[in-house]
């Protein structure tokens, strides 16, 4: 068969894949402010140059939940510049678009809108940075969707059960089922998978003819017992999973031998933290799908700022100095200066011949000064490189590992995850900090009414999304529910109140009821903010008092004796939260008086010990039959066809429910071609079967 017949563009999907663009990151920084904008411009330019069928984004297009005007303006400008035009669209959508695009009043793909002229459609799920908020559940992607620039999909509006309905695409004889799931708190999604509450729908007809592509934005690496999503939770009928949220670029597809699908992790296109995972070279992917065969071509990004990181353990340089050496601090500083200079020189050599790469690199030197060494003045040290690096203020990061040192045979290969106690928190979420605080805190400063999960969510809303009433409303809401529960049970003595409150709190931990209460309290806070912003009679003084009160509520003070919230005396502050539980709340808050007989004498900030969650996931034994899914690792480009735009087609398709737990699916024999021979570079040339036994 000739090469022309094999490379049939009428049957080939060409998809540009990128995740975690983080548009607007450090946009006010004088040096790094334009990095994210330059990289998005490069990504969209590649899409237009390669004449792709569509762009697939895996979440976190924006870095902030509420992007600035400059950020939105730049994004809209670039999308209009590169994604609008007269180029024809070569694929059709066969699924029910009112289900696929259920977050907009225009429930159809943008290129089928008669008022728009789209040449490159963009399909995107939301991430944890640009996730939907507010009573309406809107996010920044919905603004772009309403304007017709992107197609936002994968938004689950239910916290009880998730049904993922695919976008069914067809180009020639190739059929592509595009699944997507926007960011959901990992603990909640983990529990839903375990409880069989996640279902992926499949077409009833010709299931084996569809190439199944799934886009997800969750933790892939394990950050806790349930703070990640194992790959084994995903259905095994999938062919390729595009994994967002993880910033390390691992874009080459890796096979999951248990579920028999491939996973690609494109990583972020801009470094948002100075950690080793960000130092990997950044790429985007050009995915080509024909029938059940696929090919992933890596495209290096040239506008990404260089990032170099090294670890230095001072105890390994005994031949140069020891803690008792005269002027040892000066010698340590000279060693660090030499290491930083080496990284800068390496960056300059790599940048030769690449004018798009920013001039100043990011440099990070992590110095382990355990064993009696002293730190030096990092501010004075940074002044030596202020004109040579993009991050002069945080070049040096001092670390010191724990005193309970484990037995390590090879001191050179230090496992920093076990030995190093970071002096600065990098990439840790607010919820994790709250959980760690209560795990380490004494019993006398634990929460009594709230759970640590609820407090963590409220503080996260306060810190990341500027919901100033989130903590106050969560406490008020939970206090009211507890009061009603105690009144219904007829509890009167203080000892019985203590016991009943603990039982009532424990009964809701890690349940859907707890999540609904947190959501309701946060929605109340957002409603109050909107009411204040629309009420001209509310004075700025009252707003200041509210802000101060909520900021103070995020601190954890030692408890004193008193009823309910009275243990947290606030003195003469305007909101008076130091008052006893029998006093009424200020006017305008719309809350009933609190009963002194139904509250605790301990502090409201008491909490439980973190429960150990041991969940098991079982599935039925699978019967297998052989299929063929070929992945060819070739970088050869495919010529683009010049057919006219296909007429819009939207027809409802029937689906079968495919539970993530109890499916009986067929295995796929997969051949992965690593050959460099020219006669085998054809990305769609069939290979022999390799069945999995």
Collapsing DSSP to helix, strand or coil, 242 comes out as strand
Instruction: Kindly state the helix (H) or strand (E) to which residue 499 belongs, with its residue range.
Output: helix 494-506
| CA-CA-CA-CA dihedral for 602, 435, 437, 598, to nearest 10 | -10
Residue 179 tokens read as 């699944």
Cβ of 327: how many Cβ atoms within 10 Å?
A: 10
> Do 287 and 296 contact (CB within 8 A), yes or no?
yes
User: Which element (helix H / strand E) includes 655?
Assistant: strand 655-659
Strand partners, 658: 200
Catalytic choice (63, 90, 129, 152): 129
Residue 129 is a catalytic residue? yes
Torsion sign over Cα 150, 156, 157, 163: positive
Quick one: DSSP state of residue 585?
P
Written as six digits, the tokens of 656 are 């079968």
Look-up of token digits 């839903």? 192
Q: What Å distances lie between residue 506 and 254, 406, 451, 502, 604, CA to CA?
A: 41, 37, 9, 6, 15
Q: Cβ neighbours of residue 507 under 8 Å, at least 6 residues apart?
A: none
Strand order across the 174-181 sheet: 92-93, 167-171, 174-181, 210-217, 240-244, 261-265, 250-256
Cα 329 to Cα 321: distance, rounded to the nearest angstrom: 9
Quick one: tokens of 308?
Answer: 């170099």
CB-CB neighbours of 214 under 10 Å = 24
Q: How many whole angstroms separate alpha carbon 494 and alpha carbon 346? A: 69
Backbone angles phi, psi at 520, to 5 degrees: -65, -45
DSSP sequence for 151-213: EE------SS-EEEPPEEEEETTEEEEEEEE----HHHHHHHHHTT-EEEEEESS-GGGEEEE
Q: What number of other Cβ atoms are within 10 A of residue 521's Cβ?
A: 25
- Cα–Cα distance, 115 to 432 (Å, whole number): 47
Whole-angstrom Cα distance, residue 683 to residue 634?
A: 6
Report the 3 state secondary structure along 82-134: HHECCCCCCCEECCCHHHHCCCCCCCCCHHHCCCCCECCCEEECCCCCCCCEC
Residue 355, token pair as written in the block: 């004018």
Q: Find tokens 């049957």 and name the residue.
A: 11
Contact residues for 588 (Cβ-Cβ < 8 A; gap 6+): none
Distance CA 146, CA 483 (A): 44
Catalytic residues: 129
């Amino acid at each position: 068969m000739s090469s022309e017949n094999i490379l049939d563009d009428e049957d080939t999907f060409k998809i540009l894949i990128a995740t975690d663009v983080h548009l607007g990151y450090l946009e006010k920084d004088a040096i790094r402010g334009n990095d994210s904008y330059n990289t998005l411009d490069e990504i969209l330019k590649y899409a237009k140059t390669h004449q792709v069928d569509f762009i697939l984004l895996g979440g976190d297009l924006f870095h902030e939940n509420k992007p600035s005007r400059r950020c939105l303006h730049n994004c809209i400008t670039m999308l209009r510049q590169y994604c609008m035009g007269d180029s024809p669209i070569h694929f059709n959508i066969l699924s029910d678009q009112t289900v696929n695009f259920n977050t907009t009043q225009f429930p159809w793909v943008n290129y089928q809108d008669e008022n728009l002229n789209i040449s490159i459609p963009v399909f995107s799920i939301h991430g944890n940075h640009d996730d939907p908020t507010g009573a309406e559940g809107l996010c920044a992607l919905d603004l772009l969707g309403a304007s017709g620039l992107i197609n936002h999909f994968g938004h689950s509006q239910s916290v009880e059960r998730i049904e993922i309905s695919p976008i069914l695409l067809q180009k020639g004889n190739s059929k592509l089922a595009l699944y997507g799931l926007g960011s959901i708190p990992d603990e909640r999604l983990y529990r839903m998978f375990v409880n069989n509450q996640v279902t992926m729908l499949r077409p009833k007809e010709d299931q084996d003819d569809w190439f199944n592509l799934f886009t997800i934005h969750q933790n892939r690496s394990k950050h806790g017992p349930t703070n990640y999503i194992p790959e084994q939770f995903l259905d095994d009928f999938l062919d390729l999973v595009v994994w967002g949220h993880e910033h390390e670029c691992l874009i080459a597809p890796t096979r999951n031998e248990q579920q028999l699908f491939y996973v690609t992790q494109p990583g972020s296109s801009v470094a948002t933290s100075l950690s080793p995972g960000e130092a990997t070279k950044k790429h985007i992917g050009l995915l080509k799908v024909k029938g059940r065969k696929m090919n992933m071509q890596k495209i290096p990004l040239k506008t990404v700022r260089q990032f170099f990181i090294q670890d230095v353990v001072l105890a390994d340089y005994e031949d140069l100095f020891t803690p008792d050496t005269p002027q040892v601090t000066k010698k340590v500083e000279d060693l660090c200066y030499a290491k930083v200079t080496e990284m800068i020189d390496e960056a300059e050599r790599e940048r030769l011949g690449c004018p798009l790469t920013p001039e100043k690199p990011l440099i990070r030197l992590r110095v382990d000064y355990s064993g009696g060494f002293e730190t030096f003045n990092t501010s004075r040290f940074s002044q030596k490189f202020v004109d040579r690096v993009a991050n002069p203020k945080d070049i040096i990061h001092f670390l010191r590992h724990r005193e309970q040192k484990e037995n390590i045979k090879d001191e050179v290969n230090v496992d920093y995850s076990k030995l190093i106690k970071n002096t600065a928190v990098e990439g840790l979420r607010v919820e994790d900090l709250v959980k760690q605080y209560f795990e380490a805190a004494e019993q006398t400063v634990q929460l009594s009414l709230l759970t640590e999960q609820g407090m963590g969510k409220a503080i996260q809303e306060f810190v990341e999304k500027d919901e100033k009433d989130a903590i106050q409303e969560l406490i008020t809401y939970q206090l009211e529910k507890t009061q009603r529960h105690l009144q219904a049970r007829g509890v009167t003595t203080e000892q019985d109140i203590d016991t009943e409150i603990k039982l009532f709190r424990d009964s809701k931990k890690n349940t859907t009821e707890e999540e609904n209460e947190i959501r309701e309290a946060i929605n109340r806070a957002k409603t109050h903010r909107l009411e204040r912003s629309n009420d001209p009679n509310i004075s700025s003084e009252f707003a200041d008092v509210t802000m101060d009160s909520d900021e103070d509520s995020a601190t954890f003070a030692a408890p004193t004796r008193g009823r309910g919230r009275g243990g947290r005396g606030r003195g003469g502050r305007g909101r008076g939260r130091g008052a006893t539980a029998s006093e009424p709340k200020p006017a305008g808050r719309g809350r009933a008086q609190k009963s002194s007989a139904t509250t605790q004498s301990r502090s409201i900030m008491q909490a439980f010990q973190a429960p150990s969650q041991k969940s098991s996931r079982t599935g039925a034994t699978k019967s297998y039959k052989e299929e063929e899914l070929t992945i060819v690792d070739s970088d050869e480009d495919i010529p683009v066809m010049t057919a006219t735009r296909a007429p819009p087609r939207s027809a409802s398709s029937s689906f079968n429910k495919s539970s993530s737990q109890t499916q009986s699916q067929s295995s796929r024999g997969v051949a992965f071609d690593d050959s460099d021979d020219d006669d085998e570079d054809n990305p769609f040339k069939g290979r022999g079967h390799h069945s999995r036994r």
